[in-house]
């Protein structure tokens, strides 16, 4: 018999979310996830995806995936430690290490999975983790899973990090101490202060962990935030996702050979969950080869990002302090941000409102993610729609 407790719990909480306007309706796309998408029979300029370089629909990646399916089938068959590993998985990891300028790399089934895997494979209840307060949910969950003491520091506040690192070190309570940060913060587009973080880490002997989901393929000629600052040999864990700039699915840790060897014997999603499919692996490998060979897509991305930012700023929008193509339009009031996003949609732009708890209360925004695949015409059209709706709602 179905649980009455569960039914009551679900009904009460779903109704509560719906009544507060917090129930997220997921739009079914009737097209690939490109720069223009189709929803409900209407074409919309898509400014919401993480497909930064447009690789999710790239013909070269599609071809590589199709060939891999023909050669290796559709599934990896089992966990790699149990059933052996396809050669293409090993090749992907070699390519990732080359791309990230590290000794070795290990691939996971998603970026989320990767944070769950990597943190708890190294940290335990005798340890402490210094974590930026705006770190991604998967980092927060990975930290919790490790049972280490979590010490949050104010966002990118190096004085606060230093003080908390000093206190943790001098307390003598902890065996290992780690500092974790996103490389690029996805809600504001700002870049972590890695040179200062490395300096503090050296002073207090901290393990360094950078989740570069939004910096890989975007900064450092594509190699990411760590390379952007020339710190490839100073960061212990470089985490990346294969689902954003790379355009496919999966995640990875890149670092020293010993670290990767350890993760292969100790990280639970690697040991207990089936590996990426051959199609995913082949498409990811192709994407990384493209990024190693050329910076053309990054250049397009940055040109489009700069163009959109300039256009929206000139109209009078508050675009915050982004240092990357991520372009928020900060509105403040959550209801107004939702209304703005809805009106943009009606006029032909798909850009989602982001509100509390994803961003702090009172900083509701519409976040725009320009990509290398957008044309100038699309961006011009989007900017003129922003002007119309922004004036209509009294935002500009």
Active site residue: 100, 164, 214, 300, which one?
214
User: Residue 58 or 211: which CB sits closer to ligand PMP?
Assistant: 211
Q: Which two tokens stand for residue 371?
A: 């990509």
Residue nearest to ligand PMP (CB): 111
Active site residue: 95, 136, 227, 244, which one?
244
User: Residue 369 or 373: which CB sits closer to ligand PMP?
Assistant: 369
Q: How far is the CB of 224 from ligand PMP (least distance, A)?
A: 12
CA distance 201 to 176: 12
Write the binding mask 164 to 183 for ligand PMP: x where contact by CB under 6 A, - elsewhere.
Answer: ------------------x-
User: Residue 209 or 229: which CB sits closer to ligand PMP?
Assistant: 209
Q: Rule CB under 6 A: is residue 213 a binding residue for ligand PMP?
A: yes
Among 112, 229, 340, 386, binds ligand PMP (CB under 6 A): 112
CA distance 64 to 92: 13
Q: How far is the CB of 117 from ligand PMP (least distance, A)?
A: 12
Q: Which two tokens stand for residue 317?
A: 């929008």
Binding residues for ligand PMP restricted to 227-256, rule: CB under 6 A: 241, 243, 251
Q: Rule CB under 6 A: is residue 209 a binding residue for ligand PMP?
A: no
Return the range that interacts with ligand PMP (CB under 6 A); candidates 209-217, 307-315, 337-345, 356-364.
Answer: 209-217
Binding residues for ligand PMP restricted to 342-381, rule: CB under 6 A: none
216 is catalytic: no
User: Residue 56 or 395: which CB sits closer to ligand PMP?
Assistant: 56
Q: Which two tokens stand for residue 365?
A: 């925004």
Q: How far is the CB of 249 from ligand PMP (least distance, A)?
A: 7
User: Residue 184 or 231: which CB sits closer to ligand PMP?
Assistant: 184
Residues 6+ away with beta carbon under 8 Å from 41: 30
CA 378 vs CA 11, 210, 252: distances in Å: 42, 34, 33
Whether residue 33 contacts residue 49, with contact meaning beta carbons closer than 8 Å, is answered with: yes
Q: How far is the CB of 155 from ligand PMP (least distance, A)?
A: 14
Whether residue 128 contacts residue 174, with contact meaning beta carbons closer than 8 Å, is answered with: yes
User: Residue 139 or 308: which CB sits closer to ligand PMP?
Assistant: 139
CA distance 321 to 328: 9
CA distance 355 to 367: 10
CA distance 156 to 347: 37
244 is catalytic: yes
Closest CA to 73 of 53, 88, 51: 88
CA 206 vs CA 6, 158, 174, 178, 341: distances in Å: 44, 14, 11, 5, 42
Q: Rule CB under 6 A: is residue 186 a binding residue for ligand PMP?
A: yes
Among 80, 95, 136, 309, binds ligand PMP (CB under 6 A): 136
User: Residue 183 or 311: which CB sits closer to ligand PMP?
Assistant: 183
Q: How far is the CB of 134 from ligand PMP (least distance, A)?
A: 10
CA distance 296 to 288: 13
Q: Rule CB under 6 A: is residue 127 a binding residue for ligand PMP?
A: no
Q: Rule CB under 6 A: is residue 51 a binding residue for ligand PMP?
A: no
Closest CA to 188 of 312, 46, 358: 358
Tell me how many residues contact ligand PMP (CB under 6 A).
Answer: 13
CA distance 338 to 353: 5
Q: How far is the CB of 228 from ligand PMP (least distance, A)?
A: 16
214 is catalytic: yes
Closest CA to 365 of 346, 352, 381, 378: 352
Whether residue 214 contacts residue 324, with contact meaning beta carbons closer than 8 Å, is answered with: yes
Tell me how many degrees the CA angle 189-95-255 measures, rounded to the nearest 5: 65
Strand order in the sheet with 149-153: 104-108, 251-255, 237-241, 207-211, 177-182, 128-132, 149-153
Active site residue: 138, 156, 186, 216, which one?
186
Q: How far is the CB of 52 from ligand PMP (least distance, A)?
A: 12
Return the range that interacts with ligand PMP (CB under 6 A); candidates 53-61, 93-101, 104-112, 253-261.
Answer: 104-112
- Neighbouring C-beta atoms of residue 65, cutoff 10 Å: 20
- Which residues are part of the catalytic machinery? 186, 214, 244
Question: Where on the chain is the footprint of ligand PMP (CB under 6 A)?
Answer: 110-112, 136, 138, 182, 186, 211, 213-214, 241, 243, 251
């Amino acid at each position: 018999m179905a649980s009455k407790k569960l039914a009551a719990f679900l009904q009460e909480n779903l109704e509560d979310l719906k009544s507060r306007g917090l129930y997220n309706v997921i739009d079914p796309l009737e097209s690939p996830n490109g720069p223009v998408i189709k929803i409900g029979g209407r074409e919309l300029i898509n400014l919401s995806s993480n497909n930064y370089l447009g690789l999710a629909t790239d013909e070269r990646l599609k071809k590589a995936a199709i060939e891999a399916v023909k050669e290796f089938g559709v599934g990896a068959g089992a966990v790699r430690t149990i059933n052996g590993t396809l050669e293409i998985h090993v090749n992907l990891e070699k390519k990732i290490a080359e791309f990230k300028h590290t000794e070795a790399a290990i691939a996971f089934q998603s970026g989320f999975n990767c944070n769950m895997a990597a943190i708890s494979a190294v940290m335990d209840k005798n340890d402490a983790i210094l974590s930026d307060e705006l770190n991604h949910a998967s980092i927060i969950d990975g930290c919790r899973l490790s049972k280490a003491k979590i010490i949050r520091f104010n966002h990118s506040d190096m004085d606060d990090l230093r003080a908390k690192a000093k206190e943790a070190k001098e307390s003598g309570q902890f065996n290992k101490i780690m500092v974790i940060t996103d490389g690029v913060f996805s809600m504001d587009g700002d870049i972590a202060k890695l040179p200062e973080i490395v300096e503090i880490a050296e002073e207090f002997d901290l393990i360094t962990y950078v989740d570069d989901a939004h910096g890989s393929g975007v900064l450092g000629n594509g190699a990411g935030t760590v390379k952007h600052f020339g710190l490839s040999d100073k960061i212990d864990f470089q985490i990346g996702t294969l689902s954003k700039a790379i355009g496919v699915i999966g995640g990875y840790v890149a670092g020293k050979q010993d670290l990767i060897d350890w993760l292969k014997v100790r990280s639970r999603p690697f040991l207990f969950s089936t590996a990426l499919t051959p199609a995913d692996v082949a498409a990811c490998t192709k994407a990384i080869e493209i990024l190693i060979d050329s910076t053309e897509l990054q250049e397009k991305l940055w040109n489009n990002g700069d163009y959109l930012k300039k256009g929206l700023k000139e109209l009078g929008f508050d675009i915050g302090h982004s240092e990357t193509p991520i372009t928020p339009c900060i509105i403040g009031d959550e209801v107004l941000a939702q209304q703005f996003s809805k009106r943009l949609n009606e006029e032909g732009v798909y850009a989602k409102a982001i509100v509390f708890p994803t961003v702090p209360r009172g900083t509701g925004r519409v976040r725009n993610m320009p990509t290398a695949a957008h044309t100038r015409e699309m961006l011009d059209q989007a900017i003129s729609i922003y002007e119309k709706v922004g004036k209509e709602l009294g935002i500009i």
